[in-house]
Amino acid sequence: MRLSLFGQGNQVHTTNVPSDSAVLEQNIKNGTEQVAGKLPGETVTGTVVDKNGNDILIAIGKNQILQAKLDGSMQIDIGRQFTFAVKSAAGNRITLSPLFTNLSNDPNVSKALEMAGIPETDSSVAMVKSMMQEGMPIDKNSLQQMMRNININPTANIDTLVQMTRLQIPITEENIFQFEAYKNYEHQLSEGIMTIADSLPETMKQLSASGNMADGIHLYKEMFLLLGEAQTAGEHAKAIPGEAIPYDSSQLLMQVAQETDPIQRNDAGAQLGLSREETVALSENLKQAGFAELGDAVLSNLVNKNDFLSELSKLLSGESFPAEFKEQLGKLLESDELNKLIKQEMKNQWMLSPEEVAEDNKVDDLYQKLNNHLNRLSQAAEQNAIQSPFAKAVNTMSGNIDFMNQLNQMFTYIQIPLKMQGQEASGELYVYTNKKNLAKEDGEVSALLHLDMEHLGSVNVHVSMKDKNVSTKFYLQEDSSLDLIANHIDMLNERLNKRGYQMNASFIHQDDEQTVMDEMLKQDKNISVLSGYSFDARA
C-alpha cells in the first residue's frame, strides 16, 4: 500500500507502510515523540493508515506513524487525509478529535452556499461545516435560516447556534448564555445558590455607598421573610394547611427578661448553627443596631433559625430607622455572622440530602420551592436594585431552571443540588432515551449520573438496567478515588441485592472530563463526510 504524506515544507514523501514489525514499531515511536507535548486544541494532520473501531494509525510525516484513540463520530476513511485536534497527549495515550478544516476548500461547500444565495465567507463556511458535523441537512432553506440566526446573533458562537437549532431549543439571548454555560460546565445549581448568598452582602455594600441603603434593607427583609416563612409554614402545615403563621415574639421576650446572665451560657448560638464567638459578635451587632432583645435571645440560645429570621424580618419592616442606628444596621446586615446564617438556611431549604432524593415528590417539591422563592426575590430585586450583583445572580439561576425545562422537552434530564456532610455537591441525572420512549425496544434503560464532589472530584456513573440486571461503570479522573469506590462497592451490592437486583460494576480511569451536555450533543446525530450530502436547489 502506497501513501502520499506531507512532510516539512509541504514536500511530498511517498512511502510504503512498513511490513517489518520492528520498523513499524520505530515509526510509531517517532510519531508519538512528534506529538508529545502538544496541548489540547493543537492540531495534527496526516493520512489514515489503518482504523479499528476507535483505534487509529495516522501517517504524519516521513517514518512517523501516530497511534491514537479517536474521539467523535465522524466517518473516517482509510487513505484520506484529515486534520485532528489533540484532546489529550499524556504519555503514550493520545486522543484525537477530527476537525473539518480540510473541507473549507471543498467545492461542495461552495456549491451549497451558491445554491442558497449566500456569499462564501469565513462565517458561512464555518456554518456549513458545523451543520455537517451535527448531521443536519444542507439545503437552501436550512442554510438560509441558519444564516439569519447568525446575522441576528453576530456575537454568538456559530457551533452553539447550530447545536441549539438541531436540539430545537429557541434561539434567544438568555438561552444562548445558558447553553454556553452548560457546555462549559458553569451551570451547577449548587454554585448558583452560593452565588446568590455571597452577592447579598456585596449588594448591600454597593447600595449603602450610593446612598440607597433602604433598597438593601428591603432585599434583606424579603430574604428573611422568605426563609423564615418557608420554615414556619412547613412546621405548621398540619395545623393550618396553606396558611403562614405570623411570628409572635411576646413569649420569647418574656424568656429573655428572665435570663439573668446570658453571656455565661455555654450553648450560646447552638440553635443558629454558629460558634460561641460568632454568636457573641452577632448579638453585639444586633444590640448596636437597636435590636437589644433579639440580641439577648440569640446569646441566650432561646431562638431557632426560623424564629430569628421571622423576628428580624418584622423588625426591618418599620417605615424608617433612627439616624443613629442606620450605620450600625448596615454593619449588621453586612456582617459575616449574619450572612453565614443566611447561607446555611439557603442550603437547608434549596438543597436535598441523598436520603431525601429517594423520597417521593421531594425533587418536584424542591423545584416548586425554588421557582417560588426565585420569583419573589427577582421581583424584590427589580423594584429596588435591578443592576445589582444580587439581581444578576437571582436572574441567572432562574434562567438556568427555565433552560432546564426546555431541555426536558427533548431529554430526560434533571439537576439535583446536594447537601452532604461537611460539603455541597452537584448532581445531574440524564436518561439516554427519547423522552417519549423511556425504554429501548429490548426493555433496557441507560442513564448517566454525574457528580461533582469535593473529595472524589468529578464522577460519571453509567448505569444500564434490563429486567433485574444492573451494569454500572464508574469513570473517575483520580486513581485514589477509583480505589476508594471499588473498596466500598460491596455496600451498594448488598443494598441492590436486598431489592432483588444483580449488579456488575467496573471502574475506569478517565483522563478528560465528559459533561452531561457532551452526552446530549452526541445523541441522534447522523454524521457523514461532506461528499455524502446532496444539494437540492429547489428546496
| pLDDT tens digit sequence for 521-534 | 877 654 333 333 33
- Continuous segment of H or E residues that includes residue 489: helix 489-498
Same domain membership, residue 73 and residue 22: yes
Write down the H helix ranges in 99-172.
Answer: 107-116, 122-133, 140-152, 158-166
170 vs 154, 160, 162, 357, CA distance in Å? 16, 12, 11, 31
Residue 290 counted as domain residue? yes
pLDDT(365) > 60? yes
* 378 in a structural domain: no
Using the predicted structure, report yes or no on whether residue 247 has a pLDDT greater than 60. Answer: no
- Same domain as 466, residue 422: yes
Domain annotation covers residue 473: yes
Domain hosting 511: range is: 390-522
Q: Among residues 372, 400, 420, which one ends one of the domains?
A: 372
Look-up of cell digits 434549596: 350
User: φ and ψ at 259, to 5 degrees?
Assistant: -80, 120
Residue 338 pLDDT greater than 90, yes or no: yes
Task: Indicate if 270 and 415 belong to the same structural domain.
Answer: no
Q: Mind listing the pLDDT tens digit for each residue in 150-187? A: 999 999 999 999 999 998 899 999 999 999 999 888 88
What's the mean pLDDT in 209-217? 86
Has residue 370 got a pLDDT over 60? yes
Which grid cell sits at 142? Answer: 436550512
Does residue 416 lie within any of the structural domains? yes
Are 325 and 453 found together in one domain? Answer: no
Same domain, 396 and 367: no
More confidently predicted of 326 and 189 = 189
Give pLDDT, residue 100. Answer: 53
Which CATH number characterizes residue 11's domain? 2.40.50.140
Q: Which of 2-11, 168-177, 194-203, 480-489 has the lowest mean pLDDT?
A: 2-11
Q: Check residue 230 and give its pLDDT.
A: 58
480 and 401 in a common domain: yes
Rounded distance between C-alpha atoms, residue 360 and residue 365, angstroms: 9
pLDDT of residue 320: 60
> Per-residue pLDDT averaged across 229-257, rounded?
44
Please report whether residue 176 resides in a domain.
Answer: no
Asked, for residue 177, whether it belongs to a domain, the answer is: no
Judge whether 23 lies within some domain: yes
Q: Which residues contact 100 (CB under 8 A, 6 or more apart)?
A: 129, 132, 133, 530
DSSP code per residue over 377-408: HHHHHHHH-TTSHHHHHHHHHHHHHHHHHHHT
Give the SS3 label for residue 353.
coil
Give the number of other Cβ atoms within 10 Å of residue 371's Cβ: 14
Residue 3 has pLDDT above 70, yes or no: no
Which segment of 33-47, 348-362, 515-529 scores lowest on mean pLDDT? 515-529
Which of 99, 125, 158 marks a domain boundary? 99
From the CA atom positions of the chain, what is the Rg in Å? Answer: 30
**Average pLDDT over every residue of 293-302:** 88
Is residue 67 a contact partner of residue 27, using CB atoms and an 8 Å limit?
no
Range with lowest mean pLDDT among 11-15, 92-96, 124-128, 485-489: 11-15
Same domain for 132 and 239, yes or no, is: no
Q: Inform me whether the pLDDT recorded for 486 exceeds 70.
A: yes
Q: Is 178 within a domain?
A: no
pLDDT surpasses 90 at 434: no
pLDDT at 209 over 70: yes
CATH number at residue 510: 3.30.750
Residue 480: its pLDDT value, please? 83
Residues 76 and 138 in one domain: no
Same domain membership, residue 402 and residue 353: no
Continuous H helices in 167-273: 173-183, 189-209, 213-235, 250-258
Please give the Cα distance from 503 to 465 (Å, whole number): 9
Domain-ending residue, one of 312, 343, 372 = 372
Helices 213-235, 362-384: crossing angle, 10 deg rounding? 160
Check whether residue 303 and residue 404 sit in a common domain: no
Q: How far out from the chain centre does Cα 52 lie?
A: 34
- Residues 245 and 307 placed together within one structural domain of the fold: yes
Number of domains in the chain: 4
pLDDT at 534: 31
Instruction: Judge if 20 and 53 occupy the same domain.
Output: yes
Mean pLDDT of the chain: 79
